[in-house]
Amino acid sequence: MFEETMTPYQYTYQNPIRFTDPTGMEGEWTGVTKNEDGSYTVVAGEADNDRNIYVMDRKGNRTDEVVEQSFTEYSFLLYEGQPAIGAIINPGDMSGNDFMNNEIINNPNGLGLIEYMRNATGGELYDFKARGFV
């Protein structure tokens, strides 16, 4: 949970309740079907502390086959908390990485975490989903 040089309070920024997910609802799993072109279509999802992206069978049941893990627990959830049904996951698409590297990490204005967080939802400047991506 923490390194030898770090206390549990330092690990959680002096707020262990807020940053250790006391409700167990932090993560969410995503269910997909595989498309002929190698991409995947989101068909299900649920907040249950599991960021894995699972292939679903023809009957709509989750299999043990994991495609990948979501970058964040909200990667394939809409703002209302519902799964982004119909969203396409293309393993070869680097637009998410490009967005993070070019606009967030290497931002020439020295973008800080707080500024990013304030402008990353609701159609704001750094809201990746508002650009047509999920």
Is the pTM above the cut of 0.85? Answer: no
Parse the chain into domains and list their residue ranges: 22-90, 94-134
Kindly state the average pLDDT of the residues 75-83.
Answer: 77
Tens of pLDDT along 91-133? 888 888 888 888 888 888 878 878 888 888 778 888 877 776 6
Which residues is 29 bridged to in the sheet? 46
Q: How would you classify the pairing of strands 52-56 and 28-34?
A: parallel
- pLDDT for 134 equals 53
- In whole angstroms, what is the distance from residue 72 CA to residue 58 CA? 27
